Amino acid sequence: MNRITGAILLLPGGYLIVYWLPQLLGGGPGTSALSGAAGSLSGWISSNQLVIVIVASAVVAVTVIGALVQRARSRRLREGDDCCEPAQEP
């Protein structure tokens, strides 16, 4: 899990370096390096909106179903701890 989190944090870190490093070195913000990639990404998103919505909906559905299944399992285990009625004393 830590490696996944680290990989995810590298993306915004890389963006910040590309954007701010030229300005720190005396130039303007590094928008020219990002404008081509941003334009391509924006075009791809615009042409594939339905696919993106379907994939995002599937991810949300799988997450909700997984959470509900896990909740049902943990509830069943908690209820299963006291499965038997106490013996009546004579």
Q: 63 and 28 in one domain?
A: no
- Angstrom CA distances, 32 to 6, 12, 42, stand at 27, 17, 15
Q: 55 and 42 in one domain?
A: no
- Give residue 66's domain range: 48-80
Q: 76 and 59 in one domain?
A: yes
Query: What pLDDT does 86 receive?
Result: 65
Mean pLDDT score, 21-38: 71
pLDDT digits (tens, 9 = 90+) for 65-81: 999 999 988 877 666 55
**Vertex 72: Cα angle to 71 and 74 (nearest 5):** 65
CA distance 34 to 17: 11
Q: How many domains does the chain have?
A: 2
Q: 43 and 53 in one domain?
A: no
Q: 37 and 4 in one domain?
A: yes
Q: Which two tokens stand for residue 25?
A: 């070195």
Question: What letters, b where the CB count within 10 A reaches 16 and e where it falls short, cover 17-28?
Answer: eeeeebeeeeee
Q: 56 and 40 in one domain?
A: no
**How much is the pTM?**
0.53
